[in-house]
C-alpha cells in the first residue's frame, strides 16, 4: 500500500500500526481513552497534568493493564507536581516521555533519556525546535496555535515551513494543531511529517470521559468559537489557552487584572501569581470535563471543533482517518501521473 512509504518513520519510531497520536488532554486523556487509542493501532498519551505522583503512577499501571501496546506519558513542565512526576517516570523506565507546557531543561531531557525513554518535545516556534534538538529530543511535535488547550502564537502552516521542511530529514517530526481530516494528514505526511496528532476529535470519542454537555458543545461549535486567551502584562506571562468561548474567558481576564493589582502592591510574588493562573485552568477544565459546567468551566478545544460533527468510537475515528489518508494518496498519485 502507498501509505507504508509515508507511515514508515512514524511507525518505527512509535512502534505502532498507524502514526496517529492522541494528544494529551488534562482530565481527558486517562487510561480508558489512551488504551483505546493504542489498542486501535494509534499512539495514546496519558496526561500527567498536575496529578499527584501516586495518582499518576496508578494511572500508568492501569493503562498498562488495559493495553500491551505502546503509549506515552505527557508531563507539563510548569505544573507544580512536575518534578515529582519526572522522578516517577525515570523510576518506572517508561518507553516514551512527552514534555509539554513549556520547554524542559536540558538536564530534564537527559533524566528521561537515561531512564531508557524516547523523548518527544513540543515546538511552537523555530527557536524552541532548535533548542529541543540541541537538548537531545528524539522527536518533535510541532503544534500550531490552532490547537486546543495551552498553545503558542505561530500557525501550523508557518511551522511547517520553518521547522518541518528544515529538520524532518534529521529527526522525526509529528504535526498537530488544526488537523481534523485524513485528507490533510496525507499531505502532511507527503511533506515529510512522521505522523500527525489529533486532540479535539478524540476528546469527543465515545471512550473519552468528557461530559456529554461538553462534547455537544464541541460538536455544535464553529471554528471561530475556539478562541485563545490574551496576556495583558509581561510581568504576568500567560501561556495562551484556546477554548470555546464562554464565561470562563471573562473570569480569567478578571483574574489577571486582580493579580496584576496585587503585583503592583507587592502583595504577591510573580511565581505565586503564575501558579494561580495555572490553577485556574486546572480547576476550570475539571469543572467542564467532569461536571459538565459549560458556562464557567474551561471548554478547551482546537479550531478543529468546526470539523467535528459527531461522536464516534476511537476505532471509527482512526479507521476513517486511515481510509481518507489512503484515498488521498491514490488521488494525488493519479493527479501527478495522469
Q: Which CATH number is 90's domain given?
A: 3.20.20.70
Same structural domain for residues 18 and 118? yes
In the chain, how many domains are there?
Answer: 2
pLDDT of residue 10: 97
Q: What is the pLDDT of residues 195-215, one digit of tens each?
A: 999 999 999 999 999 999 999
Residue 22's pLDDT band (cuts 50, 70, 90): very high
Contact 10, 194 (CB under 8 A): yes
pLDDT of residue 279: 79
Same structural domain for residues 177 and 247? no
Is residue 202 included in any domain, yes or no?
yes
Same structural domain for residues 233 and 176? no
Give the torsion through C-alpha atoms of 287, 291, 296, 302, to 10 deg. 70
Same structural domain for residues 47 and 118? yes
Same structural domain for residues 120 and 245? no
pTM: 0.93
Is residue 103 included in any domain, yes or no?
yes
pLDDT of residue 67: 98
Same structural domain for residues 231 and 133? no
Residue 2's pLDDT band (cuts 50, 70, 90): low
Same structural domain for residues 235 and 312? no
Same structural domain for residues 206 and 216? no
pLDDT of residue 101: 81
Same structural domain for residues 205 and 168? yes
Q: What angle do CA 319, 323, 328 make, to 5 degrees?
A: 150
CA-to-CA separations, 305 to 14, 163, 177, 229, 332, in angstroms, rounded: 27, 26, 11, 17, 27
Say if residue 16's pLDDT is above 90.
yes
Residue 338's pLDDT band (cuts 50, 70, 90): low
Is residue 338 included in any domain, yes or no?
no
Say if residue 231's pLDDT is above 90.
no
Same structural domain for residues 166 and 314? yes
Residue matched to cell numbers 474551561? 298
Same structural domain for residues 167 and 237? no
Q: What is the pLDDT of residues 132-177, one digit of tens each?
A: 999 999 999 999 999 999 898 999 999 999 999 999 889 999 999 9
Q: What domain range includes position 162?
A: 3-210+307-333
- Give the pairing of strands 96-100 and 118-123: parallel
C-alpha grid cell for residue 30?
Answer: 486517562
Same structural domain for residues 144 and 194? yes
Q: State the chain's mean pLDDT as an integer.
A: 94
Amino acid at each position: 500500500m502507498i501509505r507504508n512509504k509515508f507511515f514508515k518513520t512514524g511507525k518505527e519510531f512509535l512502534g505502532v500500526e498507524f502514526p496517529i497520536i492522541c494528544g494529551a488532554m488534562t482530565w481527558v486523556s486517562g487510561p480508558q481513552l489512551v488504551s483505546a487509542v493504542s489498542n486501535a493501532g494509534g499512539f495514546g498519551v496519558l496526561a500527567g497534568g498536575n496529578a499527584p505522583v501516586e495518582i499518576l503512577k496508578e494511572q500508568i499501571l492501569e493503562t498498562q493493564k488495559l493495553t500491551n501496546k505502546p503509549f506515552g506519558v505527557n508531563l507539563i513542565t510548569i505544573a507544580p507536581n512536575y518534578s515529582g512526576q519526572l522522578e516517577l517516570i525515570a523510576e518506572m523506565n517508561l518507553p516514551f516521555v512527552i514534555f509539554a507546557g513549556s520547554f524542559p531543561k536540558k538536564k530534564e531531557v537527559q533524566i528521561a533519556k537515561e531512564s531508557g525513554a524516547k523523548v518527544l518535545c513540543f515546538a511552537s516556534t523555530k527557536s524552541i525546535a532548535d533548542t529541543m534538538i540541541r537538548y537531545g529530543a528524539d522527536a518533535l511535535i510541532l503544534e500550531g496555535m490552532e490547537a486546543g488547550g495551552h498553545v503558542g502564537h505561530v500557525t501550523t502552516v508557518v511551522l511547517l515551513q520553518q521547522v518541518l521542511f528544515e529538520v524532518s530529514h534529521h529527526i522525526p517530526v509529528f504535526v498537530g494543531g488544526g488537523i481534523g481530516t485524513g485528507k490533510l494528514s496525507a499531505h502532511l505526511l507527503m511533506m515529510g511529517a512522521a505522523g500527525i496528532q489529533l486532540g479535539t476529535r478524540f476528546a469527543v470519542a465515545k471512550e473519552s470521559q468528557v461530559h456529554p454537555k461538553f462534547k455537544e458543545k464541541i460538536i455544535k461549535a464553529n471554528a471561530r468559537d475556539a478562541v485563545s486567551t490574551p496576556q495583558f502584562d509581561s510581568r504576568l506571562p500567560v501561556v495562551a489557552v484556546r477554548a470555546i468561548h464562554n464565561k470562563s474567558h471573562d473570569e480569567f481576564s478578571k483574574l489577571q487584572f486582580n493579580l496584576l493589582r496585587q503585583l503592583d502592591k507587592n502583595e504577591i510574588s510573580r511565581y505565586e501569581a503564575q501558579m494561580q493562573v495555572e490553577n485556574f485552568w486546572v480547576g476550570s477544565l475539571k469543572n467542564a470535563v467532569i461536571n459538565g459546567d459549560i458556562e464557567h468551566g474551561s471548554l478547551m478545544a482546537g479550531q478543529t471543533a468546526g470539523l467535528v460533527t459527531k461522536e464516534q468510537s476511537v476505532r471509527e475515528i482512526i479507521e476513517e482517518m486511515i481510509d481518507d489518508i489512503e484515498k488521498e494518496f491514490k488521488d494525488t498519485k493519479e493527479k501527478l501521473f495522469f
